[in-house]
Structure 1
Amino acid sequence: MTKILQTAIPFNALEEKRLPGIAPLDMADWIIVDEAYAGQMARREALLATQRDDVLALDPLSMAAAQELLNLVLDQVLSRENNGFRREGDVVTCPDGRQVPILKDDPLGTLGRIAQEDFCLLDKRGDEHVLMGAVLCFPASWKLSEKYLQPLVGIHIPVADYTQDIAKRVQRLFDGVRVGRPLWRYNALWYQDPELHQPRSAEEPRRIGAGSQSGPYLRSEKQSVLRLPETGYVVFSIHTFVVAREDVLRDKTL
């Protein structure tokens, strides 16, 4: 079976931090290619081919921002040596050997086939940033269809810890993130199965118990926030790690 799990997470995902737990991010550490790249990309390919409307949405007025994001990601992966990415004309060869055409009229679809990360595009509309587009193959208990074109507060319903105070702090973060000064945070939840695509309606009960420590898989998202220099949109990107409990226990006592 194609490998979809990582055996380690490159940070201590179980270290508790006050929300929103933000730290500076080096752009060199933004786009990650890890041991599960081939397996996770195969899952992304399948989702984009069979459930595209569930995992991708883009407001037509945000096309320029999506194209800018695609160009930024391509610059990042193609500027690094020995990472397996190559470009010939309008085709990118990926580390797993797939050849992905660069489709300027489908920038988020192209991104979804190149990077392990999911990408959300947000723009300030009124007092809040609104989700204007995303390629979200690996949601962790939320559905893109319910959050698309919603402001930050709406996106975080029904997250219990997302209090009014936290909402104000997150909005200030999105307002204040500067070009060339990205930020990142992480989360961690135990899941009963390793499936990467875990959509859940806000109306459905959570599949795992709140604060449960009994799940056999630890799922942790590295969440990055950066501002695009030309359009000014904010990018929220998510790299998903899923590690079996026995691999977590090699380094942690839970």
Structure 2
Amino acid sequence: MLLLRADTTQGIPLVAGQLCFPNAWCLEEKLGKSFLAIHQEVPLFAERIGRSSYLLLERLKVGRPVWRLNWAIKNIPRLNLTPRYAHEVAQAQRDLTPDAIGERCLLRVERQALTRLPRTQDILFIIHTYQEPIAAIAQNGQQARTLLGVLQTTPPEVLQYKGIAPFAPMLIEYLLDQL
């Protein structure tokens, strides 16, 4: 649960929060930063969805929450993935094999909801994290094809940012074998 201040002169800064299951970031590094500054390291964010995302926040109405999904593929089941656990992620990546990738890798989906608070006009940002082994997704042909298509069409810089690039070819091969 995060709180964004409804201050457009400051770029809608992140001012408070409790983050249980971060995905490769930590709250301390983002506190006080504007919405756009928080996302500046995300490849293609500024040029593709930065402005429209900011306008969505700016125009969010009380009583009209919005939600979105954010996805990643992780090679360890840990929900808390602050940067201090990067060594575990790196080790798990080195241990991936074609035979084990379906069981070891998980599709991680964050359901993110944004709600404008009536009294302060600030924005409450809630994140609920779900994980599912890729092997379970591969059992459903349509889901496997969808994930395969996403992996094959995601820009390389985004795969790199999400930490998927080092094992993407092995994962794509696994999914192809399951179809």
**Is the contact made by 2:6 and 2:121 (CA closer than 8 Å) also made in structure 1?**
no
1:195 is displaced (CA, Å) by 0.4
1:142 correspondence with 2:25: yes
Aligned to 1:156: 39
TM-score scaled by structure 1? 0.47
Aligned to 1:235: 124
- Letter of the 1:123 counterpart: R
Structure 2 distance, partners of 1:165, 1:195, is 30
1:161 is displaced (CA, Å) by 2.4
**Is the contact made by 2:10 and 2:34 (CA closer than 8 Å) also made in structure 1?**
no
**Is the contact made by 2:23 and 2:82 (CA closer than 8 Å) also made in structure 1?**
yes
1:127 is displaced (CA, Å) by 4.9
Deviations 1:183-211 (A, max 9, x none): 1110211111010010138xx9x967xxx
1:141 is displaced (CA, Å) by 1.1
State the identity %.
30
In structure 2, which of residues 45, 49, 55 is the aligned counterpart of residue 172 of structure 1? 55
SS of the residue 2:83 aligns to: coil
Deviations 1:150-195 (A, max 9, x none): 1011211311121245221111101111111111110211111010
1:246 is displaced (CA, Å) by 1.8
1:245 correspondence with 2:134: yes
In structure 1, which of residues 220, 225, 243 is the aligned counterpart of residue 114 of structure 2? 225
Structure 1 distance, partners of 2:4, 2:113, is 13
Aligned to 1:123: 5
Structure 2, unaligned runs of 5 or more: 94-100, 145-174
TM-score scaled by structure 2? 0.65
**Is the contact made by 2:70 and 2:110 (CA closer than 8 Å) also made in structure 1?**
yes
The size of the alignment, in residue pairs, is: 128
Aligned to 1:216: 105
1:186 correspondence with 2:69: yes
Q: Which has the higher helix share?
A: 2
Q: Cα RMSD (Å) of the superposition? A: 2.2
Deviations 1:57-116 (A, max 9, x none): xxxxxxxxxxxxxxxxxxxxxxxxxxxxxxxxxxxxxxxxxxxxxxxxxxxxxxxxxxxx
Structure 1 distance, partners of 2:26, 2:58, is 25
**Is the contact made by 2:40 and 2:46 (CA closer than 8 Å) also made in structure 1?**
no
- Letter of the 1:169 counterpart: S
Structure 2 distance, partners of 1:165, 1:191, is 24
Deviations 1:200-232 (A, max 9, x none): 38xx9x967xxxxx6611101011111011111
Matches within 5 A, 1:59-70: none
Structure 2 distance, partners of 1:146, 1:190, is 23
Structure 2 distance, partners of 1:170, 1:138, is 22
